[in-house]
């Protein structure tokens, strides 16, 4: 399973990239706002921090406008992935862009039928929002299971990118279901490394080691 960081904070991305476990980055207009930076400038910097796909989202709502913005965004770097909303114009743009060899992430997916349409439009990634789904009284992980089943039924190559992740259990469930990618805030990704018994174990081993009086090397 691939791990994407859901942020436009370049310091956080650089930090995660150093682990060698970061496979890409996703941004959205809210994350760009949070960064306080210019979308072109910050996206260019992010593209230099990872070899993986970096999702940059269009804000136009019509097909012509989306294509115009996508043209500007995809020139930033070879690893830019154009993010379009799951609307008729978004999928029309997805079809046109992917037919032209551009990576596309279809975002704001809240139903398996929407995910089916995105796959038919040739999406590289479909982004179902599990956290926002849960927030509204639905089961986000049921949605991922349904999409996995449908994509496997027809051999769709669109990668399921589990988005709007709130905690480690979402990541674990996504892996159990066989989602292709998760995108999560850096704090959630860093939390996955931690376990109280790991810390306790290290503490115990170091205490015993100190008492041996030895050094390695
Ligand atoms: C990722 O591509 C999405 O934009 C993001 O995961 C949304 O997460 P949120 O629901 O926490 O804003």
| Ligand 1 proximity of 7 Cβ (cutoff 6 Å) | no
Q: Is 20 exposed, middle or buried (0-12, 13-18, 19+ CB in 10 A)?
A: exposed
Q: What does the pLDDT average to over 66-84?
A: 98
Q: How far is the CA of 3 from the centre of ligand 1 (A)?
A: 14
Catalytic residue chosen out of the listed positions 33, 34, 83, 95: 83
State yes or no: is 95 an active-site residue: no
Average pLDDT over residues 6-20: 98
pLDDT at residue 208, rounded to an integer: 98
Which residue has its alpha carbon closest to ligand 1 atom 1? Answer: 163
Distance CA 98, CA 116 (A): 16
d(CA 171, CA 12): 19
The answer to whether the beta carbons of residues 70 and 43 sit under 8 Å apart is no
Q: By percentage, how much of the chain surpasses pLDDT 70?
A: 100
Q: Is the C-beta atom of 50 inside 6 A of ligand 1?
A: no
- For residue 132, give the ligand 1 atom closest to its CA: 10
pLDDT tens digits, 19-47: 999 999 999 999 999 999 999 999 999 99
Cβ of 183 below 6 Å from ligand 1:
yes
Nearest CA to ligand 1 atom 6: 164
> Residue 108: beta bridge partners?
none
Domains within the chain, CATH numbers bracketed: 2-212 (3.20.20.70)
Percent of the chain with pLDDT over 90: 100
């Amino acid at each position: 399973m691939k791990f994407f960081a859901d942020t436009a904070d370049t310091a956080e991305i650089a930090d995660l990239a150093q682990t060698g476990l970061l496979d890409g980055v996703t941004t959205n207009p809210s994350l760009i706002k949070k960064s306080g930076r210019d979308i072109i400038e910050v996206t260019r910097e992010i593209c230099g921090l990872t070899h993986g796909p970096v999702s940059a989202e269009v804000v136009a709502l019509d097909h012509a406008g989306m294509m115009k913005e996508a043209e500007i965004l995809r020139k930033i770097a070879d690893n830019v992935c154009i993010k379009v909303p799951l609307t008729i114009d978004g999928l029309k743009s997805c079809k046109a862009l992917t037919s032209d060899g551009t990576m596309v992430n279809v975002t704001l997916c809240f139903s398996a039928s929407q995910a089916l349409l995105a796959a038919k439009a040739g999406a590289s990634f479909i982004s179902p929002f599990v956290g926002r789904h849960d927030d509204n009284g639905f089961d986000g992980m049921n949605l991922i299971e349904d999409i996995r089943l449908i994509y496997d039924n027809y051999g769709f190559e669109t990668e399921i990118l589990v988005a709007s992740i709130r905690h480690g259990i979402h990541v674990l469930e996504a892996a159990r279901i066989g989602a292709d990618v998760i995108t999560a805030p850096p704090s959630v990704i860093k939390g996955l490394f931690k376990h109280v018994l790991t810390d306790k174990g290290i503490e115990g081993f170091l205490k015993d080691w100190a008492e041996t009086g030895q050094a390695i090397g």
